[in-house]
Structure 1
Amino acid sequence: MLTMEHEALIALFRNRPELAGEILEQVLKVPLPAHREARVEPGDLTQFKPLEYQSDTITVLWADKPALAVVVEVQRGRDPGKRWSWPVYLASIRARLKCPALLLVICTDPGIARWCAKTIDMGHPGWNLTPLVADPGAVPLITDSRTAIRSPEMAVLSAVTHGGEDAAQPVLEACLAGLTVVDDERARLYADFVFAMLPEAARKNWEVLMAVGTYEYQSDFAKKYVAEGREEGKAEGKAEGKAEGKAEAVLVLLAGRGIPVPGEVRDRIMECTDSTLLDTWIQRAATATTATDLFD
């Protein structure tokens, strides 16, 4: 059954063919052959009827000819049928392109990852297939915006894996920076995917980051958030409504990072109508260690 999580993960690899090689080389430490570019190959691996084989996506590293085919599979459950079809995927693409082939399995659950990593006994002496599995613990922690901009899709994987951990603010901020260099359609897909995968406290933090920035987020929560801000702006004046929305953003950022906010600090934030000063407080809320750090 297809889900947003499954489709969004596949989209990461289809939109950035280099991602498969980056995970193999940087995360799983698999050496890659010399190549000039990475391309997405059609995933249809049907060889004969009535059986049909369809992989999630295939990345091919090219030199003057195909140098390596990477069959990428997103696995969210234990499907015994995959242990019969995965070897077919590799054999089919190897025969089609006449180059070596690897199986890369992406898992968001550690238990499923362990199941996927079990060696498949092919029956022929010396011929066994051990899938290369990227589990949540193997995904790199990306907190630098420059790294995220170089590989937005890897930054998305980092955000959905580490965005719910303590001190996850830099991870989400880096991911947001990565979204600024992809087209709007991809950015919306990735942003909604991050939102769907985060725990609730981190979701609120992500929503605030999206709401106070220039990016138009498409989740139902954000639409409601923006709509409420607009209604408040109509009722109380646009400037006042905008200031109140920024004040709430400061409080949500602090709450999302687990920083207590005393009553007098909360009152000072909510009573502020200086939009420029509130922008400063929003920036400080991302790195503050106490609520009073906003005012230093």
Structure 2
Amino acid sequence: MVSSKHEAMHRLFRSHPEVFGRAFETLGLPFPDPREVALLPNDLTEIDPIERRVDTLLRLETDEGPFLLLVEAQARNDRRKPGSWAYYLSHVHAKYQLPPVLLVVCQDAATAKWAEGPLSIGPRQWTSLVVRPLVLGPHNVPAVADPCIAACDIPLATLSAITHANDADIGAILKALATALQSVDEDDALIFAELTELGLGNTPAAQTWRQLMTVDLSFFRSETSQRLRAEGRDEGRAEGLAEAILRSLAARRIEVLPADQNRIESCSDPDLLRSWLDRSFTATTAADLFGVED
């Protein structure tokens, strides 16, 4: 049976597949942004009576061609998983004739380190197969504890909350996400609130999140929230993105020259500001944000 944590991963990556590429930008992996995503059947059972189901199977269309994304949520080391994962990858490759990528999402560093592999199949004298999952976990997903940064990328902030569920500073991460949700429409906020609770599972962080939502959900229905959301959409979007960029650079102790700060704060193009925000997580200097194409 699919657990609530698995369901959260399924819905997050199906509804917001772009979070996949943004999460791996911090590792320097150049996955192209998806233009279209399709949910494929996750039942990989053949005539063999053993039931085999991957948590989520997506087909992602990109400018560089399509590929398959298999998403698994993994809570602990499991010696049976390498065989299952190898089966999943080879089966979908043979069935769809597309390159597959296995993404494993973990909530603790030890499980993430194990899942990264490489996981070998075969006798010690000769390896027949090697499974190399891409892994997202607390070791490589940014801990988004700043409400401004969370508001600029709520899907990534949600993934951050889920993967950092067992961190000591999870309270600050959840508070940042709860604050950020006040800047979006009520329907969207409720969806992300539910996804977060599902993804946190039975961790103590889930109770913290429920307490935050008990207080904060009333905000979404107030007249103040309606006014603030309208003001944010009309006037504050660019300012919020600029502030998030500067805070991200400050947190990474990167010096920002007055000319660079003025360029960031005076920019009114939200798409350009978002690209600068993405680069702020890996930049070594403020000038790295802008790039030759800007």
TM-score range, shorter chain: 0.5 to 0.7
For structure 1, which runs of at least 5 residues remain unmatched after alignment? 217-296
Task: Select the residue among 141, 144, 155 that pairs with 1:142.
Answer: 144
Alignment pair present for 1:153 and 2:147: no
1:145-224 correspondence to structure 2 within 5 Å = 148-149=150-151, 151-161=153-163, 165-166=168-169, 169=172, 172-178=175-181, 180-181=184-185, 182-183=187-188, 186-193=191-198, 197=203, 199=205, 203=209, 206-207=212-213, 210=216, 213-214=219-220
Distance 1:55 1:120 in 2: 18
| Deviation at residue 29 of structure 1 after TM alignment | 3.1
What is the CA deviation profile of residues 186-216 of structure 1, one whole-angstrom value per residue up to 9, with x for unaligned ones? 2441353459645499558724751562269
Would you say the 8 A contact 2:59–2:68 is kept in 1?
Answer: yes
**Larger CA Rg, structure 1 vs 2:** 1
| Deviation at residue 172 of structure 1 after TM alignment | 2.5
Aligned twin of 2:21: 21
Bigger relative contact order, structure 1 or 2 (CA pairs below 8 A, ≥6 apart)? 2
What TM-score do the two structures reach when normalised by structure 2?
0.59
With over 3 angstroms needed to count, the CA separation of the structure-2 counterparts of 1:27 and 1:41, relative to structure 1, is: farther
With over 3 angstroms needed to count, the CA separation of the structure-2 counterparts of 1:200 and 1:158, relative to structure 1, is: closer
Distance 2:106 2:218 in 1: 32
Aligned twin of 2:275: none
RMSD: 3.6
| Deviation at residue 69 of structure 1 after TM alignment | 1.0
| Deviation at residue 160 of structure 1 after TM alignment | 3.9
SS for the counterpart of 2:38 is: strand
Aligned twin of 2:30: 31
Aligned twin of 2:272: none
Distance 1:210 1:147 in 2: 19
Aligned twin of 1:10: 10
Question: Given residue 161 of structure 2, which amino acid in structure 1 is its aligned partner?
Answer: A
Distance 1:171 1:11 in 2: 19
| Deviation at residue 56 of structure 1 after TM alignment | 0.5
Q: Percent identity?
A: 28
With over 3 angstroms needed to count, the CA separation of the structure-2 counterparts of 1:167 and 1:3, relative to structure 1, is: closer
Would you say the 8 A contact 1:145–1:173 is kept in 2?
Answer: yes
Aligned twin of 1:96: 95
